Chains A and B, each alone.
Chain A
Amino acid sequence: MRVYLDHNATSPLRDEAKEALRIAVEASFGNPSSIHAEGRRARSALESAREQVAGLAGVPPREVVFTSGASEAIAAAFHGIVEKTPPSRRRIVVSAIEHSAVLAAARGFDLVEIACSKEGVVRADDVAAAIDGRVALVALQAANNETGVLQPVADVGEACARAGAQLLVDAVQAAGRIPIERDRWRASLLALSGHKLGGPAGTGALIVKDGVRLAPLIGGGAQERRRRGGTEAVAALAAFGAACAAAARELPAEGARIASLRDRFESGLAAAAPELTVHGGRAPRLPNTTLVSFPGVSGEALVIALDLAGIAASTGSACASGAVEPSHVLAAMGLSGASAQSAVRFSLGWSTTAADVDRALDAVPGILGRARMAAS
């Protein structure tokens, strides 16, 4: 039996999503743009999924634009907003700890990058100070994917509203783990991913608030109210919808359950290695994420040894070749090479049990001991 503690990378498919996928594959054949019965059936499955995603995000269904994932949603947000903005107002503001999909989409623009604190928090005042009449779009994540640290999206949203800039919130890691409060955040755009909350990879959504003008990134069709061309992946999106519905239903109780497992896990780690550092541990965090460094022990060695012991965790971000690259998030938090290279991320989720946490805690002391011996 494996212990899977890497939900921030991807979450196992929920049973509800599997069932929806099976039903859609068997019964919802058809192109949702067709006028015949088969098309209507597919359309119906697609619109049900849209309602379910909208339900989790707390928005009207018509604001949900389905995409192939969060990376596409983010690229579409940047492209769509900038295209509709006069050239005199195309400045972009992002935080230094955004996901690489955001940083890549922002490249090439007149860009302002906002630093974060040692605890991995972006200060709303710093963002607000960078927002003026030249700024088209501000991108801020609701929660960081590596540390789980929550960001002050509502305060930044207020500053954006004052200056007339659009706010894109990357809610990929937040969705299903904390409530999505689009209106309180005053976000014009939200990016969501299916596979981080128990839906299939290859699904995602860009939530576009009514009244926000967005040019399509992918043209060529009237799908998604002309905001995203291409025939919708009905079966996968049905599963995405089912996963969102399950996540929304379970969220209040599940948040508390995961938080208590995470706390138990962190105290267990601290008992085994009192010298450890939990990155962002003093900031408000998602209930499921622990990014931890054991001084003098390479994160890469720990993750490999954990994997060989049947436990899936992760370190840094993986590059094209699969090797571990230094994390830009930890660098932005002021961590040096050695300290950053010792970081290991454990992320819990819907499938995590108390037995999983205990098995991981049982394995850690031996693995740490061996890694320390080899390093000395």
Chain B
Amino acid sequence: MSPSLTAVAMSGGVDSSVAASLLASAGRPLVGFSMKLVDRLAGEEERYGRCCSPDDFADARRVADRLGFPHFVLDMEDDFRERVLAPFARDYAAGRTPSPCVRCNSHVKFDALLARARAVGAGRVATGHYAVLARDPRSGRTLLRAAADREKDQSYFLFDLSEAQRAQAEFPLGGLTKDQVRANAREAGLPTAEKPESMDLCFVSEGESYRDVLARAGEISGGGPGEIVDGEGRVLARHPGIERFTVGQRRGLGISGPDPLYVVALDAPARRVVVGEEKALYREKCRVERVRWIPFDRPMGPVAASVRIRSGHAGAPATIDDHGDGTASIRFAEAQRAIAPGQAAVFYDGDLVLGGGWIAG
């Protein structure tokens, strides 16, 4: 009930457990929340052993018990379906490569969950993300920086939080390495200390693909079969639906030729998959929309930055021209491979996240 109550989002993994433990050790009043995101779709018994399963909730609850604060499981399936799964499916159907984790952060964890936290008197949400938030005394804004552990850094997935969201978020692990987090968990005797890393998309179970999840949710609608064509528009083969392809993909095309072929573009209205040689994947420019800047509202002129075009991309030097209408153009110093519409492009100045946008073409 205290105004300083903080909600900790707990997945049942080691990271969020240690985040909670650090705050609890600092004497902060806490309430733990685990989000049930998908199991009504999957059937409860099928979800055991993966993220969002009752086993993970039980682990989160044990950690909260150990640390001495209350823990609750929140049913957030509707939020997750509307704000993450449905756009994820729409992206694929439109020939884009979605970034569900970015959407989950800005629309579920730091929006729907934050609202539920506020409803019970908690003004902040802490998570086990690896990223750093710091208030800039000059501008009064909340700056986002890459984590100390660059291997684990998750700042890419957090670029689309608003200033209000960043101001109410807290990432206790930002200054730690994964090894330190594990050591911390062992030292604190947390029951989750030795849990393996969760990989890939949290809402996809082992042994199935994201397409199975979407099919079960009734969310796939890619418009049906179409043609696979080369750069000159020659038809090489047919495909079952463009939602099965992403830019840069090589496998599963069903075409044999002297040189390996890659998906270089997806033409959703024509239901066409355009393929080409690897060199056709390289582009020097792209356009982004729904641009967000973090340290300032809008830049005064072109911005030099290191731009990451997907979560696994190290970043490449580029110049960004903000057009003032929510869109921007990015010119890379060197051509980049497989710039995929639908992915987030995130702009960095060293470890400082300047902002980002959604690749439109």
Contact = CB atoms under 8 A, between A and B. Distances in A.
Are A and B subunits of one complex? yes
Interface of A: 298, 300-301, 304-305, 307-309, 319-325, 370-371, 373-375
Nearest to B118: A374
7 contacts: A301-B119, A305-B120, A308-B5, A321-B34, A322-B57, A322-B72, A375-B119
B11 to A, nearest CB: 13
A309 B120 CA distance: 10
Interface in B22-45: 31, 34, 36, 39, 44
B73 interface: yes
Nearest to B60: A322
Interface string B261-278: 000000000000000000
Given A307-B70, A320-B54, A324-B75, A301 B116 contact: yes
B183 interface: no
A323 B119 contact: no
Contact of B120 (A304, A322, A323): A304
B115 interface: yes
Contacts of A374: 115-116, 118-119
A322 B44 contact: no
Nearest to A363: B1
B168 to A, nearest CB: 12
**Chain B facing A: main interface SS:** mixed
Given A298-B116, A305-B119, A374-B118, 10 more contacts: A300-B75, A301-B120, A308-B1, A308-B5, A320-B44, A320-B54, A321-B44, A322-B57, A322-B61, A325-B75
Instruction: Across the A-B interface, give the 4 residue pairs with the lowest CB-CB distance, nearest first.
Output: A374-B119, A301-B119, A322-B73, A323-B75
Nearest to B69: A308
B57 A321 contact: yes
Nearest to A298: B119
A323 B36 contact: yes
A38 to B, nearest CB: 39
Question: Which of A298, A308, A324 gathers the greatest number of chain B CB atoms within 10 Å?
Answer: A308
Contacts of B57: 321-322
Most buried by B among A309, A370, A374: A374
- Give the dominant DSSP class at A's interface: helix
Contacts of A321: 34, 36, 39, 44, 53-54, 57, 73
B191 interface: no
A300 B76 CA distance: 11
Given A304-B120, A308-B120, A308-B121, A323 B31 contact: no
Chain B's interface size range is 20 to 34
A371 B73 CA distance: 18
Interface string B45-77: 000000001100100010000000010111100
Given A321-B57, A370-B121, A374-B119, A300 B74 contact: yes
A66 B81 CA distance: 46
A309 B1 CA distance: 6
A304 B44 CA distance: 23
Nearest to A366: B1
Contacts of B120: 301, 304-305, 308, 370-371
A246 to B, nearest CB: 32
A329 to B, nearest CB: 17
Contacts of A309: 1
Contacts of A320: 44, 54
Nearest to A370: B121
B74 A323 contact: yes
Nearest to B39: A321
A308 B75 contact: no
Nearest to A319: B44
A298 B118 CA distance: 12
B73 A323 contact: yes
Contacts of A319: 44
Contacts of A371: 119-120
A373 B5 CA distance: 17
A308 B31 contact: yes
Contacts of A301: 116, 119-120
Contacts of A323: 36, 73-75
Contacts of B61: 322
B112 to A, nearest CB: 11
A307 B5 CA distance: 14
| Of listed B74, B115, B119, residue having the most chain A CB within 10 A | B119
**Which among A298, A323, A374 has the greatest number of chain B C-beta atoms within 10 A?**
A323
Contacts of B72: 304, 322
Contacts of A375: 115, 119
A240 B44 CA distance: 34
B191 to A, nearest CB: 17
- Most A CB contacts (10 A, CB to CB) among B5, B70, B74, B121 go to B121
A360 to B, nearest CB: 14
Nearest to B40: A325
A215 B119 CA distance: 52
Most buried by B among A298, A300, A304, A370: A304
A298 B74 CA distance: 11
Interface in B1-31: 1, 5, 31
B93 to A, nearest CB: 27
A28 B36 CA distance: 46
B3 to A, nearest CB: 11
A227 B302 CA distance: 84
